[in-house]
Amino acid sequence: MDEIDVNILEAINAISPKSFISPVKVNDVLKLDQDLLGTRLIFLKKSGYVDIIKSEYPSSLALPNSISKVYLTDLGRKALVESRDSAH
């Protein structure tokens, strides 16, 4: 996990620490390329840091790869705490 991944987790946590949120709203904070964010979210899901929901129907709140909701898992919250601790 690199700095971009940590920034993604921090943005999710800042906007909606306990429930699913649109990744487009997360990207309003991050200002990343939507394809890059989608790729990173899939990696973070495979690593257990986030959970994602894909939509069969495109909407303005979904990424190009159909991710429509993202959620920070307990492991993701733990990784954030550890990244903050190691930064100090």
CATH code for position 8: 1.10.10.10
Name the domain count of the chain: 1
Number of neighbours of residue 43 by Cβ within 10 angstroms: 14
Mean pLDDT, the chain, rounded, equals: 94
pLDDT tens sequence across 48-67: 999 999 998 878 999 999 99
Residues in Cβ contact with 51 at an 8 Å cutoff, skipping those fewer than 6 apart: 20, 45, 70, 71, 73
Q: What percent of the chain has pLDDT over 70?
A: 99
Residue 49 belongs to what domain range?
Answer: 3-87
State the Cα–Cα distance between residues 34 and 50, nearest whole angstrom: 17
